[in-house]
Amino acid sequence: MIRGLYTAATGMNSMQHQIDVTSNNIANVNTTGFKQDRAEFQDLMYETLNYTAGRTTQISLNPTGIDVGLGVKISGIQKNFTEGDLKLTSNPYDLAIQGKGFFQITLPSGEIGYTRNGAFKLDSEGNIVNANGYLLEPAITIPEDAKDISIGKDGIVSVTNANGEIILEQQITIVDFINPPGLIPLGDSLFMQSDASGDPIEGNPNEDQFGSIQQGMIESSNVKLVNEMVDLITAQRAYEANSKAITTADSMLDIVNRLKN
């Protein structure tokens, strides 16, 4: 009975993690470039009460043992990097990657962060920056006399003046990783590379395995609200069931205590 109390408690703790993860997904359903989290669980070690093939008599063996599970634990939170829907904004500085790849962002520390959030703008010096004011890498500065900016699917930025003359032509590069779920989330839809993600593989958009750049569009969150609500209800029911298991085990202990008296 004591074992049952602790086992059910691990279930409640794990379902609390599931609810936390699902709630975060729901909260970010409208966050540009957000990638859904998925909680993963695994069973805990087992307590062996009787070994498989153990002898019950001198002439017979147990066909199966008695191994009692001790509960569950969260084993990880996996990022789902499937592509979100593309949304038209008609803002020339909004960019979306259709296919594989990440934009590179220079962080305040000087390190490079990676994102699928292409909601860019210009700072006071004409640099293309993200919502936090962090520079797009490689850095691109739009001249003051710019009249029109065009960004092709191949990532080539062409800027013309009022006379139609090209005054800037520069390449936006993107990167990909062997294992994107291994990236470290930083918040603000930014990620850092890790040993698990592997080193960034840099290339031009619309070439090799890289996706294409879509100007005037942004990538929506890939969270599916209906699925998250189903997961939330399932986790809530499991939490309640484990709570009832604790209540039942407590009632059984109370009966035993009263028998002793």
Please determine, for residue 58, whether its predicted confidence score (pLDDT) is greater than 80: no
What is the tens place of the pLDDT at every residue in 16-44?
A: 999 999 999 999 999 999 999 999 999 99
Please determine, for residue 61, whether its predicted confidence score (pLDDT) is greater than 70: no
What is the tens place of the pLDDT at every residue in 234-254?
A: 999 999 999 999 988 878 887
Please name which of 233, 219, 185 lies closest in space to residue 18, comparing C-alpha atoms.
233
Q: What is the DSSP letter of 183?
A: S
User: What is the pLDDT, as a whole number, of residue 62?
Assistant: 61
Please name which of 237, 241, 232 lies closest in space to residue 4, comparing C-alpha atoms.
241
* Residue located via tokens 């599931």: 18
Please name which of 196, 197, 194 lies closest in space to residue 177, comparing C-alpha atoms.
197
What is the tens place of the pLDDT at every residue in 65-103?
A: 677 888 999 999 999 999 999 999 999 999 999 999 999
Contact 236, 106 (CB under 8 A): no
Helix H or strand E encompassing 205: none
Identity at 249, one-letter amino acid code: A
Look up the pTM and report it: 0.85
